[in-house]
Amino acid sequence: MKFFIDTANLKEIQEAVELGVLDGVTTNPSLMAKEGIKGTDAVMSHYRQICEMVDGDVSAEVIATDYEGIIREGEALAELHPNIVVKVPMIRDGVKAIRYFSEKGIKTNCTLIFSAGQALLAAKAGATYVSPFVGRLDDIGADGMLLIQQIVDIFSNYGYPTQVLAASVRHVPHLIQCAELGADVATCPLSVITGLLHHPLTDKGLATFLADHKRVNE
């Protein structure tokens, strides 16, 4: 399973890189705004910096919602760096643009996926990744993990190469369930990745090992 970090914060990205388990980065306009990145030049330069830090795919989202605009923005983003994956929303013009990018060899991540039908459509258009939003489905009382299961099964039935990128992964149990279900990738905040480190019996066991070592070595 690949781990992506869902942030535009360079310090957090660096921390995940240093842990040695990071496979890529996802961003979105809300995450860019959270870092105060505004204006095309600043946005492009920020994406370039992220690409230089990480040896893996970096999703950069278009803002346009019309076909020509999505193509224009997506091509400019793709030219920035080979790591760039153009993130396109699940809308009619987005699906058409994914087909175009796929034929041009430009990687895509179809975002804002909330149904199996949307994922199937994106896969048929040639998306590299689909991003089902687990946590946001849970927020409205739906079952985010059921969607992951459906998409994994459908893609496996037909051998679609599109990868299931579980997004809106909010906590460690979400991440583990995505892994159990066979999601190709999970993108989550740094706290979820580092959350995998912890177990109280690990802390207790280590304290005992160190205390026993000290007792006989003093």
Contact positions toward ligand G3P, by CB under 6 A?
Answer: 6, 26, 28, 133, 135-136, 167-168, 170, 187
Note whether 123 and 162 are within 8 A (CB): yes
CB of 215 to ligand G3P, least distance (A): 47
Query: Quick check: 174 and 188 in contact, CB under 8 A?
Result: yes
Which of 11, 34, 38, 87 is the catalytic position?
87
Residue 179 vs 210, nearer CB to ligand G3P: 179
Least distance in Å: CB of 41 to ligand G3P?
23
At closest approach, how far in Å is the CB of 61 from ligand G3P? Answer: 8
Indicate the residue among 69 and 135 with the shorter CB distance to ligand G3P.
Answer: 135
Nearer to ligand G3P, 139 or 212 (CB): 139
Tell me how far apart the alpha carbons of residues 203 and 193 are, in angstroms, rounded to a whole number.
18
> Would residue 104 show up in a list of annotated catalytic residues for this protein?
no
Q: How far apart are CA 113 and CA 210, in angstroms?
A: 48
Region for 59 from its dihedrals, namely left if φ exceeds 0, alpha if ψ lies in -120 to 50, beta otherwise: beta
How many CB atoms are closer than 10 A to CB 135?
15
Q: Give the residue numbers annotated as catalytic, written as ranges.
A: 87
